[in-house]
Amino acid sequence: MVHLIYVALGGAIGASLRHLVNLASLRMLGPNLPWGTLAVNVLGSFVMGLFIEFLARRLGGSPELRLLVATGLLGGFTTFSAFSLDFAGLWERGAVSTAFLYAAGSVVFSITALFAGLALGRALA
């Protein structure tokens, strides 16, 4: 149960930070492109790489720290960071073609699922 609390606490912080970045980018850059989403995806992926390599692997960070930061905070900030870490894990294991299939499939299936959800929601409305 304590592990769930770490994830929930980190997730609340990450989601709140994502919301603040989205608000700030909307005010500063306008609504023409989702700059906030782009920023959190890129920044979250960078921080995930830095955190996993430096803190988790080199300094032997605890499982609780990884749950709080990687799964919770960065997962709440952007799920793209988790996707990026999964891709890197496949790549580093030498499963390069699987990594690219995973990336392409994730993007195509997720966008397709979103449009399917939109269509179903509109049909039911």
Q: How do residues 11-45 score in pLDDT, each as one tens digit?
A: 999 999 999 999 999 999 998 888 998 899 899 88
Average per-residue pLDDT in the chain? 91
> Which pTM was predicted?
0.77
Average confidence (pLDDT) over 106-113: 90
pLDDT of 18 reads 94
Radius of gyration of the chain (CA): 17
Angstrom CA distances, 58 to 6, 25, 43, 52, 54, stand at 21, 34, 21, 9, 5
